[in-house]
Amino acid sequence: MDTLTALDVMRDAPVIPVIVLHDAAHAVPLARALVAGGIRMLEITLRTPQGLPAIAAIAREVPEAVAGAGTVRTAAEARAVADAGARFAVSPGYTPALGAACREAGLPLLPGVATGGEIMMAAEDGHAALKFFPAMQAGGAAMLKAWGGPFGDIVFCPTGGISAQNAADFLALPNVACVGGSWLTPGDAVAQGNWARIEGLARAAAALPRA
C-alpha cells in the first residue's frame, strides 16, 4: 500500500474511526483492537496534545494498522504528522495551502467540505474523495443525495453526528464510500482499557453493508 490514495483510505472499510486520545499509552492497544475487528484505517485527531505521539506509536508498533491524522488544519501540522508516520490526513475544511503541503509530504488528504463552493474548490485542486463535515448539521443524507446530481464524480465520507444508528442511511447512498465516527472508541471503554468491547464495535462496523 505504498501508493495509498484518499479513495483507498475511504474504500478500505465502511467506517473510519475518529479517535480522540487523552493518553498516548492507549494508542497501541486501541489500534490492535480495531484491527482485530477489521478496521485498519485509523483517524487519530490532533484535538489533544496526545494525538501526535499516538500516531507515532501506532505507526511504529502496529504495522498492520494505517495511522492517519485528523483535524489537520495547517501546512505545519501536515508536515508534523507526516514526520510522525501518518499515512493520510483528514481536515475539517480545505485550503489550497493545506492541499499543497499534503502533496509535498506525500499524504493523501480527505478535505472537509460543507457547501457546493467548497466541493468545487477542492475538486479544482484534484480532490475527488472528500469528507462531508459536519454531516448532520450540514444537511445529512438528504444533502448528499442532492449533491449526487451536480457532483456525480465526487465520493464522500460523511463525518459529524454519525452513529451506529444512522450509519446505514449514509452508506446506502451511491456517492458515500464510508462514514467517519467516534462510536467505535467510546471514551469510557478507552479509559478502562476495555479493548474487547472496542474490537466488538469494530467488528460490527466492518460488517455494515455499502451501496
DSSP 159: B
Catalytic residue among 43, 104, 118, 124: 43
State yes or no: is 131 an active-site residue: yes
State yes or no: is 124 an active-site residue: no
Catalytic residue among 124, 131, 145, 199: 131
Element (H, E) at 11: helix 6-11
Closest CA to 43 of 61, 20, 63, 59: 20
Residue pair 38/206 in contact (Cβ under 8 Å)? The answer is yes
Residue pair 101/79 in contact (Cβ under 8 Å)? The answer is yes
Give Cβ neighbours of residue 35 (< 8 Å, ≥ 6 apart).
62, 64, 65
Joined together, the cell numbers standing for residue 6 give 484518499
Q: Which residues are catalytic?
A: 43, 131
